[in-house]
C-alpha cells in the first residue's frame, strides 16, 4: 500500500493529535496484553495529552527527537527517540513508535523510525512481547532481541538492539 505521507518534526500544537494517536494505537495494539481498565480509562487521553505537551515544551526533553506522520493533514503516526536510558551500550533509544493499523505496511513506520533515529546509528528499543508484527518490523530494520526483558504497564517487553 502506498499512501501520501508527510513526516516532520513534531510541534507543540501537535500534542492533542499525538495523544489521540497514542491512545487509539494502544487500544488497537495492546487489547488483550494490557488491562481493559487501563485502556478504557476515561482519563487516558488527558494523561497522554499532558505527556505530549511536556515532551514538546519542557526542557527536560530537549535531547529527544519527536516526529509525526500525517496523511491528508491528519496525524496518523508518532515517534520519539532520545539518549539511551539503559545498559544496552548504544547511544540512542527509540521510546515511542505508533501508527494506526490502517496504515501498517504503508511505509509510515520506517519513515518515522528514520526520522527519529539515523538508520546508520546503533540504537535500542523495548517492544511488547508478544507483538510479532512489531518485532518483525524492527528485525527488518536491523534490530535483534538481546535477551533482556521487563514488565512495564502490565506488559512484558523485550529489548531489541541494532548495532552498527
**For the chain, which domains are there?**
6-118 (3.40.630.30)
Residues 155, 123: contact at Cβ < 8 Å?
Answer: no
At 143, list the grid cell. Answer: 534490530
Backbone φ and ψ for 36, nearest 5 degrees, come out as -60, -30
Instruction: Give residues with Cβ within 8 angstroms of 153, minimum separation 6.
Output: 34, 38
Continuous segment of H or E residues that includes residue 117? none
Query: What integer pLDDT is reported at residue 152 of this predicted model?
Result: 87
4-20 pLDDT, tens digit each? 999 999 999 999 999 99
Q: What is the DSSP letter of 103?
A: G
Q: Which residues of the chain have pLDDT under 50?
A: none
Query: What integer pLDDT is reported at residue 2 of this predicted model?
Result: 66
Q: Which of 44, 51, 46 is nearest to 30 (CA)?
A: 44
Query: What integer pLDDT is reported at residue 153 of this predicted model?
Result: 78
Continuous segment of H or E residues that includes residue 41? none
| Beta bridge partners of residue 6, listed in sequence order | 70
pTM score, two decimals?
0.95
Amino acid at each position: 500500500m502506498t499512501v501520501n505521507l508527510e513526516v516532520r518534526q513534531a510541534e507543540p500544537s501537535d500534542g492533542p493529535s499525538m495523544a489521540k494517536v497514542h491512545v487509539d494505537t494502544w487500544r488497537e495494539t495492546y487489547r488483550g496484553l494490557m488491562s481493559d481498565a487501563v485502556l478504557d480509562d476515561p482519563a487516558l487521553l488527558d494523561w497522554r495529552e499532558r505527556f505530549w505537551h511536556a515532551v514538546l515544551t519542557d526542557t527536560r526533553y530537549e535531547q529527544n527527537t519527536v516526529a509525526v506522520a500525517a496523511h491528508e493533514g491528519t496525524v496518523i503516526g508518532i515517534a520519539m527517540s532520545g539518549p539511551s536510558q539503559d545498559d544496552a551500550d548504544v547511544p540512542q533509544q527509540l521510546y515511542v513508535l505508533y501508527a494506526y493499523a490502517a496504515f501498517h505496511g504503508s511505509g509510515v513506520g520506517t519513515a518515522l523510525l528514520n526520522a527519529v533515529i539515523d538508520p546508520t546509528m546503533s540504537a535500542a528499543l523495548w517492544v511488547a512481547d508478544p507483538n510479532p508484527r512489531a518485532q518483525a518490523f524492527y528485525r527488518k530494520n536491523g534490530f535483534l532481541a538481546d535477551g533482556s526483558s521487563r514488565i512495564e504497564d502490565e506488559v512484558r517487553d523485550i529489548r531489541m538492539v541494532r548495532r552498527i
